[in-house]
Amino acid sequence: MTDPTPTLERWRAVDHYLTDTLVGSDAALESAIAAQNAADLPSIEVSALSGKFLNLLARLCGATRILEIGTLGAYSTIWLARALPAGGQVVTIEAEPEIAALARENLSRAGVAHLVEVVIGRGAQVLPTLVGAGPFDLVFIDADKESNTIYLDWAARLGHPGTVVVVDNVVRSGRVVTAGADDTQVQGVKAGLQMLADDPRFDATALQTLDRKGWDGIAVAVLTEDVRI
Ligand code: DHB
Ligand code: MG
């Protein structure tokens, strides 16, 4: 029997294999990452396979309005925008003006700038201003983990029954079960997961991922009939 331990080397090889097989190369996405690296931003964009997963989820739920919290270099934003029909829109929130400018350049280069509004500000400040811009059919939460419960609450308020909510980084190399109270990011992640379990507006699960970023995971939820629109 082969060793079932997921070694770093082997899971990276599998990630490359699946990416090469199912995603392939993509000039717009690769240049978005190159621009992000050139600006010395952290390489924490979702993997290619996860980006495509977001794209497929958006198409599966027929999303025409998508909300993203945490833009960075707009890598996931490009994947989400590509899922939209004509007339659809992604609203994406980025706290840092210089990063938002880079994101806009990347969106233009990818040919999807007309489908995306990049809003500059902290999520907690921007989200209440989006009440008239909803409802959103898919919400992707990928910003400061400490605020995950705030973001989930706004996802529910700005969504409708059936809205899909995805939360990135819910495993954090397994720290979700080992971290102490001083790890505020993991405490934020855990508070968000507990909210997904307890709050009747959500029905959720989570998937662990092993990819080029290491060991992490996403939570995926649907908004229930308990959300009011
Ligand atoms: C971090 C944040 C992310 O959104 C991510 O996907 C990976 C890492 C971080 O803050 O370390
Ligand atoms: Mg993330």
Residue, of 70 and 10, whose pLDDT is higher: 70
* Alpha-carbon separation of residue 203 from 170, 195, 199, 200 (angstroms): 16, 10, 8, 7
- Res. 213 pLDDT band, cuts 50 70 90: confident
Average pLDDT value for residue range 9-20: 94
Give pTM, 2 decimals: 0.97
Q: Is the CB of residue 169 below 6 angstroms from any atom belonging to ligand 1?
A: yes
Indicate the helix (H) or strand (E) that contains 107: helix 97-109
Mutate to test the pocket of ligand 1, among 44, 75, 184, 211 (most ligand atoms within 8 A of CB): 44
Task: Please give the number of the atom of ligand 1 that sits closest to the Cα of 143.
Answer: 4
Reported as a single tens digit per residue, the pLDDT across 111-127 is: 999 999 999 999 999 99
- Res. 229 pLDDT band, cuts 50 70 90: low
Task: Name the residue at shortest CA distance from atom 7 of ligand 1.
Answer: 44
Query: Measured between alpha carbons, how far apart are the two ends of the chain, in Å?
Result: 54
CB burial string 130-142: b at 16+ within 10 A, e below: beeebbbbbbbbb
Q: Is the CB of residue 45 below 6 angstroms from any atom belonging to ligand 1?
A: no
CB burial string 191-221: b at 16+ within 10 A, e below: bbbebbeebebbebebeebbbebebbbbbbb
Reported as a single tens digit per residue, the pLDDT across 144-173 is: 999 999 999 999 999 999 999 999 999 999
Q: Is the CB of residue 142 below 6 angstroms from any atom belonging to ligand 1?
A: yes
Reported as a single tens digit per residue, the pLDDT across 60-78 is: 999 999 999 999 999 999 9
Rounded to the nearest angstrom, the distance between the alpha carbon of 31 and the centre of ligand 1 is 20
